[in-house]
Chain A
C-alpha cells in the first residue's frame, strides 16, 4: 500500500494511472492515447508561474490537498435538493454526474436520431469506435493539464448530432460533488460532434455541494462541422472551496457558427483555457464572458482564436467586475495565418475594480501574418462612474441598487447575445444576488 500522504499530487496521479489503466479495458480504443498522455504529464508536470501562460495564476494552493483520484462509492442525490442548479424551467436533456460517476436517476439522455449520452458508453461500445477514432483527442493540445485529463479520461458527456439535425431542447451537463471524499479531483472528458448543418445548445455547470476541496480538470472537445451551429454556455458559480481548470477546444469547419459564453461568479480558482480553431472559410466564432467575483477569488481567462483560412470572423467580449481582494487575468491570443486574408477579428476586455485591493492583469496578444485583415482589440480598467452614481441617487435609486444597475448595464452587452431566455434570466438573477440587490432587471 502506497503512503499517499507522503507523495505529492503529481506522483500520486502517476501511480494511480497504473492502477486505473489496469482496471480499465486494456483493449480500449484510447489505451495508447492514455499511455502517451501520462508520459507527457510526467515530463511536464503541473504548470508553474515560470511559464508565460501561467504567469499570473499559481496552482500551488490548490495542489496541496490530498485529493482522491477515484471516488470510492456511487453517491446519490435527491433532485429536489439540487434542482436549483439546473435550468429547470425548460425541457432539456440532462447528463448528470455525482462525484464523477454517472447518475442515470438524474439524467435524461437519448439515442433517438442522435446520441446524447456518456463517454464511458462511447468508449466501450464498438458502434462508436469509428467516431472515437476520428475525433477523440484530435484537437486537445498536448499541454500537461490536458494530457493529465486525457490519461484519466473515462467519463463525461458524449454528444453526436448527425447531419441536418436540430436538437429541439438544450442539453445540460452537470457535475456535482458531494463531499463524501475529504478532497476530490475530477477529470471529466466531453466530446461533442455536430455534423453538417446541425444545431445544438449546451449548458455546462460544475457544482460542489461541500466545503471539502474539489479540483476539477475538465477537457471538452467540440467539433462544429460544415454549417453547424453550436452554442455553449458555461455557468461557473461554484462555492469557494472548489477550483476549476476548464480546457475547451473547438474545431470549426466552413460556415459553422460557434459561441461560448462563460459566466464566472464563484469558485476558488477558475482557469478557462478556451481555444478556437477555424479550419474552413466563412466561419464565425464568438467568445464572451462575464466575471463578477470578490473575496480572494481568482479567475483567469486564457483564450485563443486561430484564424487559419480566409473570410472568417471572431468576436471576443469579456467583462470583469472585481471586488475585495479578487484577482483576474485575461490573456487573449489571436493568430491570423498568412492565408487567412479578410479576417475580421474583434477583441474587447473591459474591467471594473470596485475595491483598492482587487486587481486584473489583461494582455491581448495578436499575431497577424496576413496583410488584408481587420483586427481590433481594446482593454480597459476603470472604476464605477461616480457622476452616474450621483445622478441615479438623485432619482431615488439607493447607492447599492445604483451600483448594481451600473454593473449590470456594464455586463449587458455579453448577456444580449445569450439565445436561451431562461439562461439570461438565471444569469441576471445570479448577478442580482451576487450584488446583494433585489431589483427586477429586464433591460
Chain B
C-alpha cells in the first residue's frame, strides 16, 4: 500500500505541476494574473472533443489544433482586452475573471456536461509497478511532466525568447532598456500560459471527464500551488506541487478522500501564516518599488 501511495503521489504531483506551470509563467513574466486560465484549460479539452466527434479528425491532429487554437485565444484576449487595461490591476483582474467566467458558463449553458464528454486515453494498458496497478496514461503524464519541465528549462536558458522571458521576469525595467517590447512579451506570456494550460488539459483530461466545474477546480489548484510555491518562481511551483501532491495522496489513502481538499486549504493557510509570499517567493515588498 505504501509504495502504491508513493507512486500515485508522485503522479499527483506531476499533474499539479502541469496544471500550475502555465499560470505561473504568465504571472512571472508579465505580471498578469490570468483568471481565465481555467477557462482556457476547459476550452482546449472541449476543443479536442469537438474536433474528434464533430469534425472527425484524428486524435493527434485534434490535439495539435486545439492547443494552437487555445494559444491563439490567449493572444487575442491580450490584444483586445488586456492591452487596453494593462497595469491597472483592478481592471485586469476583473476583465480576465469576467472572460473566464463567461466562457465556462457558456459551455455549461450549451449543455457540455455529462459523462460522454471524455477523451480517449493514449494507450489503453496497465502496468504493475512495485505491486500497484498504474495505467499507461498516468505514466505518460509523469514522463511528460518531467520532459516539459526540462524543455521549459532549456527554452528559458538557451533560446532568445526564453532568455528574454527570464530577463523580464527578473527585472522588468532593465529588460526594457534592452529594447524589448513589453506588449509583445506580455502577449507572448499570456499566450504561452494559455498554451500550457491546453497542453496540460489534453494530457490530464483522459483520466476523467470534462466539465465546466473542472475550469474552476483547475483555477483553484493552480492558484493554490502557485501561492504556496511562490508566484513567479518555477522552482517553487515544482516543490509546492510535490508537497501538496504528496499531502493529498497520503490523506486520501490513510485518512479518507473527503479530507484532501481540507489538506490543500490547510497547506495554503499555513503558508500564508508563515511565509505569505510562498516557499520560494520573491516578494520584495517595498524594495522593488523605490
Q: Are both chains from one complex?
A: no
Q: A residues near B, CB below 8 A? A: none
